[in-house]
């Protein structure tokens, strides 16, 4: 892949976690940045830091679940930057609840951000990339887009959907110079577990603080490490990017034991 210097990188969920780490890394690569997040405070904090380092950054407060707002965001990016090359649909949230007790409002909320946010971001920018016959779409799924666990039905549904959507998109783009890849992070040291709508955990318990502490124990990959892995995958044009030793291990277990993996993972966890 040619150098990213001077290219415009669009990142949703850029105010914290992997999105923020990607913004920092891509600024060092020489990218111009169009950053979006629903949290304007963290978004502008990230942008200020990068501008002080000399990066060209535009800020866009955005709810990716809002289709019209996302299309308007794409128009703003193209108006301000003149083009877009790297589209990273990263914004995401979590819900932890049994399917029997899961409310439709929570299900709609997570699908609106995790799945429809990816669809909106992809379709809003795809015509521009195809017109230029150049660019790269990076959609963030999860290791929970490869395996399922109790209490994660809504999250699994959203991340499996991202995986299926992105794999179909990649095949449709095979005769163009536009790339598409799906990212499957394992446990990343972000605030997603503490910011989740938590009702019931994997083991059935209902203590949100205990569940978050357990997540912190298993989340061993930093956002900065995740960003480096994603950038390496983009440059290598990999169709799928697994992040973290845990993601590689879980993927291996699922491949070897597609029916028995839930029992094996229950023992590990």
Q: Is the pLDDT of residue 232 over 80?
A: yes
Q: Which residues, in sequence order, are CB contacts of 207 under 8 Å at separation 6+? A: 201
The pLDDT > 90 percentage for the chain reads 85
Q: Is the pLDDT of residue 1 over 70?
A: no
Backbone φ and ψ of 156, nearest 5°: -55, -45
The whole-number pLDDT of residue 202 equals 82
Please say whether the structural domain 8-268 has been given the CATH code 3.40.50.2300. no
Q: Which residues are marked as active site?
A: 155
Question: Quick one: pLDDT band at residue 204, thresholds 50, 70, 90?
Answer: confident
Domain boundaries, the chain: 8-268
Please, what is the average pLDDT of the chain? 94
At 13-69, the pLDDT tens digits run 999 999 999 999 999 999 999 999 999 999 999 999 999 999 999 999 999 999 999
The whole-number pLDDT of residue 269 equals 65
Per DSSP, 219 falls in state -
Instruction: Enter the tokens of residue 250.
Output: 């879980």
Task: Look at the pTM and tell me if it is higher than 0.85.
Answer: yes
Q: What is the sign of the dihedral through the CA atoms of 216, 154, 269 and 243? A: negative
Q: Determine which helix (DSSP H) or strand (DSSP E) holds 227, and give its type and residue range.
A: helix 223-235
The whole-number pLDDT of residue 205 equals 79
The answer to whether 14 and 46 are in contact (CB under 8 A) is yes
Q: How far apart are CA 126 and CA 39, in angstroms?
A: 25
Residue with tokens 């409310």: 103
At 130-150, the pLDDT tens digits run 999 999 999 999 999 999 999
Q: Is the pLDDT of residue 10 over 80?
A: yes
At 166-195, the pLDDT tens digits run 999 999 999 999 999 999 999 998 888 788
What is the bridge-based pairing of β-strands 240-243 and 197-198? Answer: unpaired
The whole-number pLDDT of residue 213 equals 76
Q: How far apart are CA 85 and CA 246, in angstroms?
A: 31
The whole-number pLDDT of residue 2 equals 67
The whole-number pLDDT of residue 220 equals 85
On the CB side of 67, CA atoms within 13 Å amount to 5
The whole-number pLDDT of residue 266 equals 80
Residues 18-22: contacts with CB under 8 Å, at least 24 apart: 18/90, 18/140, 18/185, 18/188, 18/190, 18/223, 18/226, 18/227, 18/230, 19/88, 19/90, 19/91, 20/46, 20/223, 21/222, 21/223, 21/224, 21/226, 21/227, 22/88, 22/90, 22/227, 22/230, 22/231
């Amino acid at each position: 892949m040619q150098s990213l210097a001077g290219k415009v990188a669009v990142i949703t969920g850029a105010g914290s976690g992997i999105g923020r780490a990607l913004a920092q890394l891509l600024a060092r690569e020489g990218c111009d940045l169009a950053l979006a997040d629903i949290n304007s405070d963290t978004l502008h904090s990230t942008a200020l830091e990068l501008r002080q380092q000399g990066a060209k950054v535009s800020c866009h407060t955005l709810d990716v679940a809002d289709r019209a707002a996302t299309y308007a965001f794409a128009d703003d990016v193209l108006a301000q930057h003149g083009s877009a090359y790297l589209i990273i649909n990263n914004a995401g949230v979590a819900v932890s609840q049994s399917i029997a007790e899961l409310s439709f409002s929570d299900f709609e909320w997570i699908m609106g951000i995790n799945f429809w946010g990816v669809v909106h971001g992809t379709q809003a920018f795809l015509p521009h990339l195809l017109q230029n016959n150049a660019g790269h779409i990076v959609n963030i799924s999860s290791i929970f887009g490869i395996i399922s666990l109790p209490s994660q039905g809504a999250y699994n549904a959203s991340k499996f959907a991202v995986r299926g959507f992105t794999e179909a998109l990649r095949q449709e783009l095979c005769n163009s110079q536009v790339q598409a890849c799906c990212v499957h992070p394992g446990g990343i040291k972000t605030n997603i577990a503490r910011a989740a709508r938590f009702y019931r955990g994997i083991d059935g318990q209902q203590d949100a603080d205990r569940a978050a502490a357990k997540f912190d124990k298993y989340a061993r990959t930093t956002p900065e490490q995740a960003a480096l892995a994603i950038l390496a995958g983009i440059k290598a044009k990999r169709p799928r990017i697994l992040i973290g030793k845990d993601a590689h291990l879980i993927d291996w277990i699922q491949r070897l034991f597609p029916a028995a993996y839930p029992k094996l993972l229950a023992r590990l966890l």
